[in-house]
A and B are shown apart, each in its own frame.
Chain A
Amino acid sequence: MELIETRSLSKRFGQHIAVDGVNLSIKEGVCTALLGPNGAGKTTTLNLLTGLITPSTGTIEFDQSYQGDRRQYIGYLPQYPKFYEWMTGEEFVIFAGELAGLTSKQAKQRTKEMLDLVGLNDNSKKKIAGYSGGMKQRLGIAQALVHEPKLVILDEPVSALDPLGRKEVLEMMKRLKEHTSILFSTHVLHDAEQVSDDIFIMKDGKVVIEGSLTHLQNTYQKPTFFIEAEDKLEGWVETIKGQDWIDQYSLDGKNLTLTVDNVEEARKRILKDPMFQELEIYKFEVAKTSLEDLFMKVTES
């Protein structure tokens, strides 16, 4: 059973269609990434799921076994979380827990655990006004998790952070995956590759590619050769281009990138090529294209 499923979900702001017929299915116990360039409709989609805005058309269905207001099963961290700055970190998380229906004793207990988890215990008695950006982000995660939601929705959880903060939050998300389902949006493919199991790529309000990370990798990643030489490679490329073992190539002076279908065959062919042996090779590398290329391709076109 899917935890949350949307059917042809659309949202229109005046003339602008921010989300256009999106079918999402988020599985329980899985980390799902919503990937897309800025303005693709990711935040709007997440806001629709949380119920902060109502869809123009389409439906959102939450797992039938969780009855009632779906907000009680969802923890949400907005892209720019805004707190009551006059509260201390601890007070805010307790407040959030009580809003979500915990008793004040439970809320205190859970708050302590959550602040431990996000590493804010030393600063829990400080006013939020004095928190750094990274601390606010972690506080935001703590308040999203305090009522043990079935699904945690994180909107661009790492975008605003420096590299260290990014790494910390991504590590934290990996730990969270053990306990709860996560849905997060990002415009950085690398982040999605690191933690997510399922990926939806959005563009202009539509989902253009979806599937599990391994499926995407198997389908869209191709073996690639990076060849770099002392002198120009043009001459050699002329002789091999158009042969059927080459899928695509791009030549930039002394740098050649070749994508192929079959690594073994291609390697044999290249290395045995007498003309290739004449070349003064700097670098010969076999790798896989990253999903970045796929991402660029689908988001640019």
Chain B
Amino acid sequence: MLFKKEWTESVRSYKILWIPVVFILLGITQPVTSYYFADIIGQFGGLPEGAVMDIPIPTGAEVITATLGQFGQIGFLVLVLAYMGIVAKEKNHGTQILVLVKPVSYTNYLTAKWAHLLCISLGSYAMGYIAAVYYTFLLIEKMVIADLIYGGIIYGIWIAFVMTVILCLSALLNSTAFVAFAGLGLTVVLSLLSSLTPDLMTLSPAMLTSHSQNLYQTGQVGSGFGLNLAFTLVLIIGILIGTIYLFHKKEIAQHTT
């Protein structure tokens, strides 16, 4: 029921429409621009006379990796901005008082939102990913389908982790702007640390992105993948439980006078 309400809310605010559209567009853009890169350069005045430059068409693995990079930046930005208020806004408006005064468990309240968040983000991501793969196949080259599926799922878990963090921040902080800032900040820091010092960050959820990249390029995940995956899943569950616990402890009704 709470889950249904989240859906209705997303439908009425058209989030259910534009978030997938953004992801699909992102998914199409990368392979298409890679393919037509030389033509685009030509259209915009071309290279100077005499400059000989061979612009290679990238491999499929590179294109998919770049697409995931887009998801990781613009995609996250969109998701975070759309859902930073998922709990915080209800808290600030006081709408959740009417919900929580009914015999509704805090666990249900938050997990309904969590499930909805995952459905939307992973659904949109899946659509965008399929679009990217389709155009890559069409324009660039065919790749191993099993690798693409596994890689996609691995990256999806990273998205699930980020969404869980957003829910947690939204439940515990009051300012939506701060939720967005902290959420995106954390994502960026984790990604940067993971790519700069991969040795130190073998357990970091952001390492999942590099594992999925390895999969596309070599057909193999990097070392330490199993542990990394397990740790991320534990972290997701842990954050969720922690959020419910802390949210329960917080006072719902604010001091009025």
Q: Which of A97-105, A212-220, A226-234 makes up part of the contact surface?
A: A97-105
Alpha-carbon distance between A162 and B65 when the two chains are bound, in angstroms: 63
A123 at the interface (CB under 8 A from B): no
**Cβ–Cβ contact B95 & A83, under 8 A:** yes
A-B contact pairs, 13 of them (CB 8 A): A43-B253, A43-B256, A43-B257, A44-B256, A68-B103, A78-B101, A79-B256, A82-B98, A83-B98, A91-B8, A95-B5, A99-B103, A143-B98
List, in ascending order, chain A residues with CB within 8 A of B100's CB: 52
Apart from A50-B101, A83-B95: 10 A-B pairs, beta carbons within 8 A: A44-B255, A71-B101, A72-B102, A78-B101, A84-B9, A84-B95, A86-B8, A96-B98, A99-B99, A99-B102
**Cβ–Cβ contact A100 & B98, under 8 A:** no
Looking across the interface, which residue of chain A has its beta carbon closest to that of B92?
Answer: A82
Alpha-carbon distance between A52 and B252 when the two chains are bound, in angstroms: 6
Interface 1/0 per residue, A235-264 and B, CB below 8 Å:
000000000000000000000000000000
Interface 1/0 per residue, A185-225 and B, CB below 8 Å:
00000000000000000000000000000000000000000
Alpha-carbon distance between A100 and B95 when the two chains are bound, in angstroms: 16
**Cβ–Cβ contact A52 & B97, under 8 A:** yes
B58 at the interface (CB under 8 A from A): no
List, in ascending order, chain A residues with CB within 8 A of B2's CB: 99
Alpha-carbon distance between A84 and B90 when the two chains are bound, in angstroms: 9
Q: Footprint of B on A, CB under 8 Å?
A: 13, 16, 18, 38-39, 43-44, 47, 50-54, 68-69, 71-72, 74, 76, 78-84, 86-87, 91, 95-96, 98-101, 140, 143, 147
| A130, chain B: closest CB distance, angstroms | 14
Looking across the interface, which residue of chain A has its beta carbon closest to that of B105?
Answer: A69
**Cβ–Cβ contact B102 & A71, under 8 A:** yes
| B8, chain A: closest CB distance, angstroms | 7
**Cβ–Cβ contact A78 & B94, under 8 A:** yes
List, in ascending order, chain B residues with CB within 8 A of A86's CB: 8-9, 12-13
Alpha-carbon distance between A258 and B102 when the two chains are bound, in angstroms: 51
Instruction: State which of B93, B95, B103, B257 has its C-beta within 8 Å of the C-beta of A39.
Output: B257
Looking across the interface, which residue of chain A has its beta carbon closest to that of B101?
Answer: A76
Q: Footprint of A on B, CB under 8 Å?
A: 1-2, 5, 8-9, 12-13, 93-95, 97-104, 251-253, 255-257
Query: With A52-B252, A53-B251, A82-B93 known to touch, is A38 a contact of B102 (CB < 8 Å)?
Result: no
**Cβ–Cβ contact A78 & B97, under 8 A:** yes
**Cβ–Cβ contact B256 & A71, under 8 A:** no
Query: With A71-B102, A74-B101, A82-B94 known to touch, is A99 a contact of B256 (CB < 8 Å)?
Result: no
Instruction: State which of B9, B94, B103 has its C-beta within 8 Å of the C-beta of A72.
Output: B103
Alpha-carbon distance between A201 and B12 when the two chains are bound, in angstroms: 45
**Cβ–Cβ contact B95 & A52, under 8 A:** no
Alpha-carbon distance between A52 and B106 when the two chains are bound, in angstroms: 11
Looking across the interface, which residue of chain B has its beta carbon closest to that of A76?
Answer: B101
List, in ascending order, chain A residues with CB within 8 A of B12's CB: 86
Looking across the interface, which residue of chain A has its beta carbon closest to that of B109?
Answer: A99
Alpha-carbon distance between A98 and B93 when the two chains are bound, in angstroms: 22
Looking across the interface, which residue of chain B has its beta carbon closest to that of A95?
Answer: B5
Alpha-carbon distance between A16 and B104 when the two chains are bound, in angstroms: 30
Instruction: State which of A54, A76, A82 has its C-beta within 8 Å of the C-beta of B95.
Output: A82
Looking across the interface, which residue of chain B has its beta carbon closest to that of A92?
Answer: B98
Alpha-carbon distance between A52 and B100 when the two chains are bound, in angstroms: 8
Alpha-carbon distance between A245 and B257 when the two chains are bound, in angstroms: 44
List, in ascending order, chain B residues with CB within 8 A of A79's CB: 256
**Cβ–Cβ contact B103 & A82, under 8 A:** no
Alpha-carbon distance between A140 and B101 when the two chains are bound, in angstroms: 13
| A56, chain B: closest CB distance, angstroms | 11
Q: Which 5 residue pairs across A and B have the least CB separation, nearest first?
A: A72-B103, A82-B94, A52-B253, A99-B102, A47-B253
Alpha-carbon distance between A87 and B59 when the two chains are bound, in angstroms: 49
Looking across the interface, which residue of chain B has its beta carbon closest to that of A155?
Answer: B256
Query: With A86-B12, A100-B103 known to touch, is A78 a contact of B255 (CB < 8 Å)?
Result: no
List, in ascending order, chain A residues with CB within 8 A of B93's CB: 82
Looking across the interface, which residue of chain B has its beta carbon closest to that of A101?
Answer: B103
List, in ascending order, chain B residues with CB within 8 A of A147's CB: 102
Alpha-carbon distance between A44 and B97 when the two chains are bound, in angstroms: 14
Looking across the interface, which residue of chain A has its beta carbon closest to that of B104?
Answer: A99
